[in-house]
Amino acid sequence: MNSVKVKVYAKINLSLNVCAKDGLYHDLDTVMTSIDLFDVVSVVKRADDSVNVSFDGKKVLSSNAMKAALLMRDSFNTGGVDIFVRSGIPSGGGLGGSSADAAAVIRATDLLYGLKLGVGDLISIAAKTGSDVPYMLFGGYARLRGKGEFFTPFDGPEGKVLVSGFGSVDTASCFERFDLLGGQGIKCDNDVLVRELESRSFNDCGKLFNNALFDAAQSLNPHVGRIYDIMRASGLDACMTGSGSYVFASGEDGALFAAAKKLKDLRYSYNIIKTVKNGCITV
């Protein structure tokens, strides 16, 4: 086997609570699910130990995909690789694109070199790469705590969401603004949210979706609030994902398409997509 190709899905945060600050970083308590936006990552063996990464044909010198590849090479004595990423997940939007690419590299390298790593080893390498990377290996519904290294998968309903955003929000700046605003860090009872998702329809749970970083993010990127208001005015339950800038909404099909039309008229990009049960799959 000389190459492996992996499809890796984006995520949305159905809830995001900001807990105590531990040193430089905040602990989080968040519920995520995967959605049908994806990157395709190809990992190809090299004859030497070099690692090269290209995004949509453009070579990059630093990325989570590069970090993951170097960790895999140095931890398990694999050879070098060429990594080609075809992007379908918008960057800087809170949809987990860079974490997804790292997870895809870990999964593909494991297969490419026949390492047959157990779940524990995969999670250990992923956690060293980035906070959301362990989750992105597996995807689906899960509750994550701490820096994302503690996650509990659970079964949830299939759902449909309208996703839209413009520009980006820098994660570090968003948390700094959150601290300056003195915002409320606990916006959602995640025990209740998980129970509801395990027993009810996706749309029934929409009113529970919330994100403690919303005020901070929209103060940095006003489009976050504008898109949110458009979705709410159309009768949808809306929520920001991650630290922004993308917002998603759930509701009846008619309201989803009505909001999509308003977004289109204002030249905002959008997708109406379903939740999915996987993080990484080979293609």
Q: 3-state DSSP call for residue 256?
A: helix
Task: Give the whole-angstrom CA distance, residue 37 versus residue 175.
Answer: 26
Contact 112, 43 (CB under 8 A): yes
Gap between the Cα atoms of 235 and 257, Å rounded: 11
Catalytic amino acids? Answer: 11, 132
Residues near 103 by Cβ (< 8 Å), separated by ≥ 6? 8, 68, 126, 133, 134, 136, 137, 279, 280
Q: Please answer whether residues 247 and 224 qualify as being in contact, where contact means their C-beta atoms are separated by less than 8 angstroms.
A: yes
